Amino acid sequence: MNKTAIALKYQGSKPPSIEACAHGQLAEEILALAKELKIPLLENPELAALLAHCQEDDQVPGHLEYAVREILSLALDMQHGLLRNPNWQNQ
């Protein structure tokens, strides 16, 4: 299966944006690097497919912003040891 990797960025008061989007081998390399750096990963093929239509530095589309903010919030909680979720990697 052809993997897709989406890296998200959130800077406080600005809407979340797409930091990077990759498919295939490059996506696999990004995911491997994220695991090595212990960056939280969530596998959500449906959301990744929707976000894959965006370009780097694009804001997350309004209809997906709530879902992305929830994911970023969970990732932050996980990094601070407040959450353990079996759907997340790098626990």
Question: Residue 42: which residues within 8 A CB-CB, separation 6 or more?
Answer: 71, 74, 75, 87, 88, 89
* pLDDT class of 83 with cuts at 50, 70, 90: low
Question: Residue 89: which residues within 8 A CB-CB, separation 6 or more?
Answer: 35, 40, 41, 42, 43
Domain tally, the chain: 1
The CATH number for 77's domain is: 3.40.1690.10
**Residue 11 pLDDT exceeds 90:** no
Could you list the residue range(s) of the whole structural domain that residue 15 is in?
4-89
Report which of 24, 25, 27 is spatially closest to residue 6, judged by C-alpha positions. Answer: 27
**Residue 1 pLDDT exceeds 80:** no
In this predicted model, what pLDDT tens digit does every residue of 38-54 receive, in sequence order? Answer: 888 888 899 999 999 99
